[in-house]
Amino acid sequence: MTRPTVLFVCVHNAGRSQMAAGFLQHLAGDRVDVLSAGSAPADQINPTAIEAMAEVGIDIAGEQPKVLTTESVQASDVVITMGCGDACPFYPGKRYEDWKLDDPAGQGIEAVRPIRDEIRSRVEALIASLG
């Protein structure tokens, strides 16, 4: 079987989707191809998201927000959206999930930690569902 490709999408591709991609890469390794993008990408990754991930040993500091393209959606088996709503293109035959998560933008580390931990538990469930 080929490796599944998972695309995480949020508006700015600076917090939630980057943390989710970091967890999936870390926990699944080379069993899954991981993409992330935003419908309106920010200039840089949220520094508090970087700090929160560093606390659990995952470095996302080298990542850059990327723009969501139809090609990235078409290349993906699973598309996880996080608050981007209608900005995310829909293609039949893809598995879609919408994760309702608070946006870490502008939040302090105390507020971002529970978001990070919720993302980790959802990524662990996602990995289990991928087999």
State the DSSP H helix or E strand holding residue 5, giving kind and residue range, or none if neither.
Answer: strand 5-10
What pTM did the predictor assign?
0.94
Q: Map residue 71 onto helix, strand or coil.
A: helix
Q: State the pLDDT at residue 87.
A: 62
Q: State the pLDDT at residue 93.
A: 85
Q: Are 64 and 44 in contact (CB under 8 A)?
A: yes
CA-based torsion, 92, 94, 100, 105: positive or negative: negative
Q: State the pLDDT at residue 1.
A: 53
Give all strands (DSSP E) within 11-70, no chain letters. 33-38
Q: Which residue has the tokens 């700015």?
A: 12
Residues with catalytic function: 10, 84, 88
Q: Are 12 and 65 in contact (CB under 8 A)?
A: yes
Q: State the pLDDT at residue 54.
A: 98
Tell me the per-residue pLDDT of 56-70, one tens digit each, with 9 for 90 and over.
999 999 999 999 999
Q: State the pLDDT at residue 66.
A: 96
Domain holding 39, by residue range, is: 5-130
The count of domains in the chain is 1
Tell me the per-residue pLDDT of 77-130, one tens digit each, with 9 for 90 and over.
999 999 766 566 677 888 999 999 999 999 999 999 999 999 999 999 999 999
**CATH code assigned at 14:** 3.40.50.2300
Q: Are 44 and 31 in contact (CB under 8 A)?
A: no
